[in-house]
Amino acid sequence: MSGPERASSSARGETWLVLGASSAMARALARALADEGAALILAGRDDDDLAALAADCRFRGAAAAEAMRWDARDPATIAPLVERLERAEGTANAAVFAGSMPPQAEIDADPALIAGVAADSFTGPAQVLSRVAPLIEARGAGTIVGVASVAGDRGRVGNYVYGAAKAAFATYLSGLRNRLTRSGGHVVTVKPGFVDTAMTWGLPGMFLVAPPEAVAASILKAVRRQRNVIYTPFFWRYIMMIIRAVPEPIFKKLSI
Amino acid sequence: MTWATREIAGWGRVLRAEAALARPERQRTARALAENAPVPALGRRRSYGDACLADRAMLTERLDRVLAFDPETGTLEAEGGVMLGDLAARLAPQGWLPPVMPGTGFATVGGAIAMDVHGKNHHHAGAFCAHVERLTLATPAGPVEVTPDDPLFALTAGGLGQTGPILKATIRLARVRGDVMMVTERRMADLDTFCDALDASDAPYTVGWIDATATGPALGRGILEEGEVAKGLVPPAKRGRTVPLDAPGFALSAPVVRTFNAAYLRRVPARGRTVVRPIADYFFPLDKIHDWNRLYGKHGFHQFQCVVPTDARGALRAMLERIGTAGLASPLAVLKRLGPGAGHPMSFPVDGYTLAVDLPARDGADRLLAALNAATAEAGGRVYLAKDSSLTAEQAHAMYPGRATWAEAVNARDPERAYETALVRRLRLREPA
């Protein structure tokens, strides 16, 4: 059980736009922010679920929490989100948890799926963030959290389309950080390893699976300390260091 | 993936099962699961025996959100997997508490309804379902909203999950004046003194700790704790110690427990005392030690809990004698007064004294449990199915006289018996009369 013991008001005065807010990791971060008194705009496609999360966040102490519709593949849903964030007082912040990972075999059978994966994991969220960036620049403060993936660190046979989209998103975040740092903003790139979510539940071959609450806690810590790129749990940094160090002539023959 | 295979156990860790488990995170996925593959729901698995075991089940632990709370009226709507301890921690500072709290804060809203749990205030407040305004069941035909005037409500209250997973429920909270407990502790010399004091107590919350190792004239001695919610400042409850491994057998051996119990009794001065405690410490004393069930070692333990009518003090005495001389007793034994029952066919609490005692699963435990079950039946009492691991089907059927009618109604709704749990099968609870 988690009581409100650690509740403080360190996020009071902050408004967070959370994209893909129905995911287990996003839910955990939204709740952690609610505990700290932040205001939340929870965006995604499952209206009922987002409304439930918004109610829960208000119960936990969020200054405000509301659900808004956002579809990574529908650019028309972007403007209302950004306008809402613009109207909010205090600092404007955004966290992206969106992404989709159809099995690689399905993509191989129907390469048209690649466009959807790219939209969900990269081009959709990036279009929102590029509209949030001017807000942060104008106010001279604000943080963007982008959830990439260890899958983006090296293309592997099992999920290289997803990995490619996440790698593109990570590169985008790196550039955005470079841009926003000039005006007092900040971007945290988060690369989670295996997290205990509906996506990984029951999958074979999972190990060292982290609870979403632990991931959310490490994200918040990274935000407060203005870290640039974090792996979560931390040891994935070293796992990926090794995986990236494998020479390509060898790597191409591996199936990991 | 929808299903993951896991080994699960009741809280007593004696009964175990390998189960295919689904873990929906959203109402939508829970509803879809209930429509395509109906299975029983499991919460945080704090039932001691096999009430929380099944071959296939839906875990509700991620359906854990508060959907609405009105701080004016104290009405709260929550998903089935919300834990009562979380609610208590967040509500008490705002002047509200869950109306009924069992001995563990890990109990979920869904579990509290399915077991119709009782608390230290049963003699005033009744059991949990008396405070439920509305609940939503996931059924193959879609979600069904149930209010207390619907016959389906009585089938669901204490109904061991046999009417389907509880997706959400609306409860009426209890107004409280503060967020600490003022607790008056008094030593009780023997069983009669204890029962008289329980009968006479008009405190909002009353519970008795009983020294189950005492025999002879000291039989039934213990400590009566009467509590009420108050305003004040106490250090917050310390949480989160974990028992890292199974304790060795001697940790809770008879001499250790006898010594511990005697010291525990003397902790309270002979003239009694009043102390102030954090709410969580009072209601959920063991929750601050995570996985405390491992203290009983790898073989686990049973918990026996019965209620006997108020005129059956003799039966209580006989049970305590058996427990005291069996050399199996643990430090955890509780005596409480229950008020009148709610009339739901499978709900446990009825007017009388309830005795709960942990029994390590060592040689002789089965024999002792069989004797206690038989003594309960003979006294016209009943055993709490959320704790049970040892009743016979015949005993269970006799203790819950409304069972056959309940089974008929439940079977009509679920003819494939998709919601059966290991407990329901073992005790043949859904067998027609």
Both tokens of residue B143?
A: 């979600």
Q: Kindly state whether B25 is in contact with chain A, defined as any CB-CB distance less than 8 angstroms.
A: yes
Given the cut 0.90, state whether the ipTM is greater than it. Answer: yes
Q: Kindly state whether A48 is in contact with chain B, defined as any CB-CB distance less than 8 angstroms.
A: yes
Q: Could you give the CA distance from residue B78 to residue B169 in angstroms, rounded to a whole number?
A: 6
Interface test with B, best of A46, A47, A201, A206 (most B CBs within 10 A): A201
Could you identify the residue written with the tokens 């039934």?
A: B220
- For residue A3, the chain B residues in CB contact (below 8 A) are 85-86, 89-90, 239, 280
* CA contacts within 13 A on the Cβ side of B273: 9
User: Beta strands of B190-254 (E only): which ranges?
Assistant: 205-210, 222-230, 241-242
User: What does the DSSP 8-state code read for residue B129?
Assistant: G
Output the pLDDT for position B239.
59
DSSP string for B54-107: -SEEEE-TT---EEEEETTTTEEEEETT-BHHHHHHHHGGGTEE-S---S-TT-
Q: Kindly state whether A4 is in contact with chain B, defined as any CB-CB distance less than 8 angstroms.
A: yes
Output the pLDDT for position A6.
44
User: What does the DSSP 8-state code read for residue B299?
Assistant: T
Cβ count within 10 A of residue B375: 18
* Range A80-101 average pLDDT: 95
Output the pLDDT for position A240.
94
Interface of A with B in 160-199 (CB under 8 A): 197-198
- For residue B85, the chain A residues in CB contact (below 8 A) are 1, 3
pTM of the entire predicted model: 0.95
By C-alpha distance, the chain B residue nearest A50 is B26
Q: Which amino acid is it at B288?
A: K
Q: Kindly state whether A9 is in contact with chain B, defined as any CB-CB distance less than 8 angstroms.
A: no
CB contact under 8 A, A202 and B69: no
CB contact under 8 A, B93 and A4: yes
Q: Kindly state whether B278 is in contact with chain A, defined as any CB-CB distance less than 8 angstroms.
A: no
Q: Measure A46 CA to nearest chain B CA, in Å.
A: 9
Question: Any residues with CB less than 8 A from the CB of B354 and at least 6 apart, and which?
Answer: B305, B306, B307, B334, B335, B336, B337, B338, B384
Q: Could you give the CA distance from residue A80 to residue A189 in angstroms, rounded to a whole number?
A: 25
CB contact under 8 A, A3 and B26: no
Strands B41-42 and B56-59: parallel
Q: Could you give the CA distance from residue A20 to residue A9 in angstroms, rounded to a whole number?
A: 25
Q: Could you give the CA distance from residue B89 to residue B289 in angstroms, rounded to a whole number?
A: 17
CB contact under 8 A, B93 and A49: no
- Better-predicted residue by pLDDT, B244 or A180: A180
Q: Kindly state whether A71 is in contact with chain B, defined as any CB-CB distance less than 8 angstroms.
A: no
Q: Is the pLDDT of residue A2 over 80?
A: no
Output the pLDDT for position B119.
97
CB contact under 8 A, A1 and B105: yes
Q: Kindly state whether B31 is in contact with chain A, defined as any CB-CB distance less than 8 angstroms.
A: no
Nearest CB neighbour to A56, from listed B27, B65, B106: B65
Q: Kindly state whether B68 is in contact with chain A, defined as any CB-CB distance less than 8 angstroms.
A: yes
CB contact under 8 A, B90 and A2: no
Interface A-B, measured as beta-carbon pairs within 8 A, has a size of 68
Burial of B134 (0-12, 13-18, 19+ CB in 10 A): middle
Output the pLDDT for position A255.
82
CB contact under 8 A, B26 and A22: yes
Output the pLDDT for position B250.
76
User: What does the DSSP 8-state code read for residue A115?
Assistant: H
Q: Measure A232 CA to nearest chain B CA, in Å.
A: 21
Question: Any residues with CB less than 8 A from the CB of A186 and at least 6 apart, and which?
Answer: A142, A143, A144, A177, A180, A223, A226
Burial of B148 (0-12, 13-18, 19+ CB in 10 A): middle
CB contact under 8 A, B28 and A49: yes
Strands B16-22 and B56-59: parallel
Residue ranges for chain B with pLDDT beneath 50:
none
B330-352 b/e with 16+ CB inside 10 Å = b? bbbbbbbbbbebbebbbbbbbeb
CB contact under 8 A, B2 and A202: yes
Output the average pLDDT for chain A.
94
Both tokens of residue A194?
A: 């295996």
CB contact under 8 A, B89 and A3: yes
CB contact under 8 A, A52 and B4: no
Both tokens of residue B410?
A: 């439940």
Peptide bond before residue B340 is cis, with ω within 30 degrees of 0: no
Q: Measure A229 CA to nearest chain B CA, in Å.
A: 28
Q: Measure B176 CA to nearest chain A CA, in Å.
A: 18
Q: Which amino acid is it at A99?
A: G
Q: Residue B283: which of B158, B117, B70 has the closest Cα?
A: B117
CB contact under 8 A, A59 and B26: no
Q: Kindly state whether A205 is in contact with chain B, defined as any CB-CB distance less than 8 angstroms.
A: no
Q: How far is CA B272 from CA B90, B186, B266, in A?
A: 32, 4, 10
Q: Kindly state whether B24 is in contact with chain A, defined as any CB-CB distance less than 8 angstroms.
A: yes
- For residue B89, the chain A residues in CB contact (below 8 A) are 1, 3-5
Q: Could you give the CA distance from residue A83 to residue A96 in angstroms, rounded to a whole number?
A: 17
Could you identify the residue written with the tokens 């379902």?
A: B129
Q: Kindly state whether B240 is in contact with chain A, defined as any CB-CB distance less than 8 angstroms.
A: no
Nearest CB neighbour to A4, from listed B24, B26, B90: B90
CB contact under 8 A, A1 and B236: no
Q: Could you give the CA distance from residue A239 to residue A172 in angstroms, rounded to a whole number?
A: 23
Output the pLDDT for position A7.
45
- For residue B90, the chain A residues in CB contact (below 8 A) are 3-4, 59-60
Cβ count within 10 A of residue A206: 14
Nearest CB neighbour to B83, from listed A1, A49, A52: A1
Could you identify the residue written with the tokens 């709900």?
A: B347
Output the pLDDT for position B240.
65
Q: Measure B228 CA to nearest chain A CA, in Å.
A: 21
Q: Kindly state whether A203 is in contact with chain B, defined as any CB-CB distance less than 8 angstroms.
A: yes
Nearest CB neighbour to A1, from listed B5, B69, B85: B85
Q: Measure B169 CA to nearest chain A CA, in Å.
A: 13
Q: Residue B115: which of B84, B146, B142 has the closest Cα?
A: B84
Q: Measure B66 CA to nearest chain A CA, in Å.
A: 5
Could you identify the residue written with the tokens 């839910």?
A: A27
Residue A107 — φ and ψ, nearest 5°? -65, -40
CB contact under 8 A, B28 and A46: yes
Cβ count within 10 A of residue A116: 17
Strands A64-69 and A39-44: parallel
Q: Is the pLDDT of residue A8 over 80?
A: no
Interface test with A, best of B1, B31, B136, B242 (most A CBs within 10 A): B1
Q: Confidence band (pLDDT; 50, 70, 90) for A239?
A: very high
